A and B are shown apart, each in its own frame.
Chain A
Amino acid sequence: MREAFGKRGALTGQREPFVHPYIPNSVPETKRAMLAEVGAASVEEFYADVPESIRLRRPLDLPAPLRSEAALARHVGGLLARNRSARDTLSFLGAGVYQHHVPAVVDEVVNRSEFLTAYAGEPYEDHGRFQALWEYQSLMGELLEADVVTVPVYDGFQAAGTALRMAGRITGARRLLVASAVAPDKLSKIEDYVRPVHDVVVVPVSPATGLADLDAVRAELAAGDVAAVYAEAPSALGLVDPALPALGEAAHGAGALYVVGCNPMSLGVVAPPASYGADIACGDVQPLGVHMSFGGGNAGFIATRDEERFVAEFPSRLFGVAPTSVEGEWGFGDVAYDRTSFALREEGKEWVGTAAALNGITAGVYLAVMGPQGMREIGETIMARTRYAMNRLAEVPGVELPYAGAAHFADFAVRFTGTATVAEINDGLLERGIFGGSPLPGSYAPARDGAAPRRGAPSETDALYCVTEVHSKDDIDRLAAALEELVK
């Protein structure tokens, strides 16, 4: 270090040796002392088992480093400046990722080093995360009216895939019926995940109403070998299908389980799936206080009754509460650990690994500040504004609301009947500082030329708009006014 100061304190500009702030032992004197201590001439000795034939004898070809924090901040800041966020733009995008207000207390808690940087300690030195995650399970349990809720899995896609495989193991049957509109990306994950053991049968929703085709579901059930009927509330079209209870009755009548994916944000006003017959509920907690993060903020939940045949099929960890050796102390630990792949490798249920625990803690803090009244009120506000937006947009010439008859939560489909396509309309909205709704997958609606739509291909006429508590009446009126100019 002395060389940097030169004689009599003259500045030299010297920046060698390379000592990185993240690597304390990169100080040459320290390295020498440690090598001497272990009796090694150089670090090369530690790689004696790496054959020369696979040694990389050149530097990695990477961009030159930005070693000072100031330079790094400037570089990354420059990249982020090329993004335009939904904080600064009025956005009507939903379709699986929802913009909600995140209470400041939520960020304050989950950004704590103690939670952010912990990992997999024991229920002693990491008592806090065990309690926070058990409380998360418990808060979700109240919301879902379910006695068993897992520590978070990765996301709602994974939760649906695993819930369906759980149903398959419980029933021993092969076929899975998808009865409501499910986003094609989610269906893609489900199909890939269940493929080794299940056949997925998509029972198309009615093109006219977007609702489940109960007769067609019953016919598929009659064909036998059905492990589960899967439905979503709200569906990928945003509607809450009045047939949800009947789908459960039909499934049970055929010896199948009923698996329902739901948006937990709706459960202050919409009934929890268990109350209308769901055996397994699943979904994503992103709406509950997790930032959207370009689709990177997820955690999946799976919930069941407290029956051994269900509990035994969870792949993920389940935290439980237990006494300690001291009266009045809440202790925690793993419930029925010997079903996981941590305990049994390939003999465990599916697999478990690092998933999304912190987002579970986030959802817990969110539910704790919201409380029962908060969840009811936010549900009312969202439903009221969704309906207002639907009614308001329906007044715009050239706009139809194809499935408006059903109750909606947050998402709703809009059909443009003029010549302007969804993409053209969204271009115009973007010029006016608005992110318009995303094109609906064409499979939900007939294509313009009458041809069979390719699954997942964006529709030119139909878009999914989304309204939450962050959208004021004025915001909705502004959207309607812009659409009046753009829809031709």
Chain B
Amino acid sequence: MRTAPVSVTPADAKIGPKPPLRRFHQARWDEPLLFELSTPGERGVLVPEPEVPLDGAVPNELPDALRRTAPPALPELSQLHVLRHYLRLSQENLGADLNIDVGQGTCTMKYSPKINEQFARDHRVAELHPLQDERTVQGVLEIVHRLEGMLAEISGMDRVSLQPGAGSAAIYANVAMIRAYFADRGELDQRDEVITTIFSHPSNAACAKTAGFKVITLYPDADGYPDLEALKAAVGPRTAALLITNPEDTGIFNPRIEEFVRTVHEAGGLACYDQANANGILGITRARDAGFDLCHFNLHKTFSTPHGCGGPGAGACGVSEALVPYLPRPTVEFDGTAYRLDDDRPGSVGKVRPFYGVVPNLVRAYAWIMSLGAEGLREVAEVAALNNNYLMKKVLEIRGVSAPYAEGRRRVEQVRYSWAELAEDTGVHSEEIGLRAADFGTHYWTSHHPYVVPEPMTLEPTESYSKADLDEYAAILAEVAREAYDDAEAVRTAPHRSTVHRVREETLEDPATWAVTWRAYRRKILGA
């Protein structure tokens, strides 16, 4: 195949500069469903034979009505074909390891160190049974106990439980403790209201309601700060607690947080701190120092455990001395020699999940803190805040975007921006800009509902991202905004270089056409 020699120079070998933005295209395998890949008779893995006689008794000892007669209609695939299917799907998924993941604001996307994966997968974590003799699990109990102590120091709280499954579960556990606290005082019938703010995570409102409380939601004052006057008007003898995030999802730190806590305390209520947004304030300020009675952390946010497509995460509840008796059981205790589980806690709200928490994530979070120490955690916070303010400067140079509220003030670790001006000018909405960003190998998230900030976009550039990352991300947004003004159709019809094209979501709202499983699709859509 070699052609006749031609004369070349080093200039011919030179590779030219890249364009300003990446010519990204996501994998598009056009992958069928597992069920479409099935070939009757194929096997993915073989299982041990019984070794012992079935002799007609097993599983025929089951009564007829309880014996499965027809095999489940699972697909049948060889091992390679299962692997290949899922590897293709993985390539059609944009993990945080692969992109400048600053766009999932409030989610604190940061690097999950690989050494911590090795710890979590070690058989001396992964293959421990929770009911083993305590003498055989001293290492993992010590990790849990030490992590509790570290989070108590970071929050200033007296005691921490690591049992909740993730952040919202930790909010629920805190609300359950608040309920138990007032029930013990005979005040639960009277104190049936919980106050929260619209820029606190919706789970604060939803968990309080689920636990039986009425919910009062405060809106911000004109400057975007939580409204102290509104709080004063809302508190009273019916107040059980304030559930509040700080900084809120706008990235604005509430400078009157002590007055908020004091106001609730004076009314006889408890103050509960949602620390989902703690990443920018580690080592800067602490929940207990502002007077809070309870708080929670999301270990999959602030403390680096991977997000797993939406969990498993891990939650930590911190409480003051007065609420220690209500903590989920068991607690991990240390007598100076050995660690043990204390299940004999009569005042406890009981279990909030099986056993002792999402242990692999507790191991990861412990290792992450141990790699950083006090100085490192403070560096995490300061660089997260620096990154955020740097990105804000770059983003606000883009036509059509603004950062509502707190004019001229700095933000902590994230900003809720608004594309209202661009939408007004071009008719292109924030969701569409986010989808167009997918064509450049990244994405963003708008906001929780309701959209108090119109056409929202929430960016949280944690300490994991470099200056060059932030410049690239801002350049992508700038390019999409330019397109919105110059060629709105290109944005409205995006994504163009993603795995799939626009989904006809309207079928997902109609009971006649929604299909949550393959069997529902077969029955309802295919009529099979």
Contact = CB atoms under 8 A, between A and B. Distances in A.
A255 B378 CA distance: 59
Given A325-B501, A374-B44, A149 B516 contact: yes
Interface stretch (B164-172, B422-430, B475-483): B164-172
B324 interface: no
Nearest to A64: B373
Interface string A441-471: 0000000000000001000000000000110
Interface string B153-179: 110000000000111110110001001
Contact of A128 (B83, B101, B499): B499
A253 B66 CA distance: 20
Interface residues of B, number: 221
Interface stretch (B1-9, B10-18, B125-133, B227-235): B125-133
A486 to B, nearest CB: 15
B286 A54 contact: yes
A252 interface: no
B45 A123 contact: no
B263 interface: no
Contacts of B343: 456
B75 interface: yes
A208 interface: no
Interface in A143-166: 143, 145-149, 151-152, 154-158
A380 interface: yes
Nearest to B413: A46
Interface stretch (B29-37, B264-272, B484-492): B29-37
A355 B45 contact: no
Interface string A77-94: 001111111111101010
A417 B172 CA distance: 43
A93 B129 contact: yes
B165 A355 contact: yes
Contacts of A126: 93-94, 309, 443
Interface string A359-376: 101000101111111111
Contacts of A402: none
Interface stretch (A5-13, A170-178, A216-224, A263-271): A263-271
Interface string B502-519: 111101110100111111
Contact of B112 (A117, A268, A347, A371): A117
A457 B76 CA distance: 45
Nearest to A100: B47
Interface string A34-51: 110110100101111111
Contacts of B379: 18, 20, 23, 26
A325 B504 contact: yes
Contacts of B322: none
B169 to A, nearest CB: 6
Given A83-B125, A298-B358, 9 more contacts: A50-B255, A93-B131, A97-B354, A118-B309, A132-B89, A332-B503, A333-B508, A341-B203, A342-B448
A291 B115 CA distance: 19
Nearest to B256: A51
Given A129-B93, A295-B359, A384-B50, A109 B349 contact: no
A421 interface: no
Contact of A292 (B126, B171, B290): B126
A48 B343 CA distance: 44
B409 interface: yes
Given A60-B374, A388-B52, A125 B94 contact: yes
Given A46-B386, A147-B517, A147-B523, A114 B511 contact: no
Nearest to B47: A378
A151 B308 CA distance: 13
Nearest to A24: B466
Contacts of B132: 84, 86, 91, 93, 435
Contacts of B312: 154, 296-299, 355-356, 358-359
User: Nearest 9 pairs between A and B by C-beta?
Assistant: A353-B168, A295-B355, A65-B373, A196-B212, A295-B130, A369-B44, A128-B93, A296-B359, A358-B308
Contacts of A146: 517
A127 to B, nearest CB: 4
A119 B104 contact: yes
25 contacts: A18-B379, A22-B372, A26-B379, A55-B284, A97-B354, A114-B95, A118-B93, A126-B443, A142-B72, A157-B353, A185-B351, A294-B128, A294-B355, A320-B508, A322-B508, A331-B500, A341-B202, A344-B449, A348-B202, A351-B207, A353-B169, A354-B313, A371-B44, A373-B76, A381-B51
Contacts of A72: 115, 367, 370-371
Contact of A119 (B88, B96, B412): B96
B310 A85 contact: no
A95 B44 CA distance: 28
Contact of B385 (A47, A51, A93): A47
Among B143, B351, B352, B369, find the residue whose CB has the most chain A CB atoms closer than 10 A.
B351
A280 interface: no
B300 A354 contact: yes
A418 interface: no
Contacts of A388: 52
Contacts of B172: 351
Given A368-B34, A380-B59, A245 B519 contact: no
B176 A192 contact: yes
Interface string A174-208: 00000000000110110110011100000000000
B206 A99 contact: no
Contacts of B351: 157, 185-186, 188-189, 192
Nearest to B437: A125
Nearest to B128: A294
B52 A268 contact: no
B377 interface: yes
B523 to A, nearest CB: 7
A430 interface: yes
A296 B120 CA distance: 11
B181 interface: no
A80 B124 contact: yes
Contacts of B35: 135, 138
B521 interface: yes
Given A46-B412, A383-B58, A272 B68 contact: yes
A371 B67 contact: no
Interface string B25-59: 01000111111000000111111111111100111
B123 interface: yes
A56 interface: yes
B272 to A, nearest CB: 15
Contact of B383 (A23, A55, A275, A308): A23
Contact of A324 (B91, B206, B371, B502): B502
B90 A297 contact: no
B410 interface: yes
A294 B206 contact: no
Contacts of B98: 113-114, 117
Contacts of A111: 117, 121
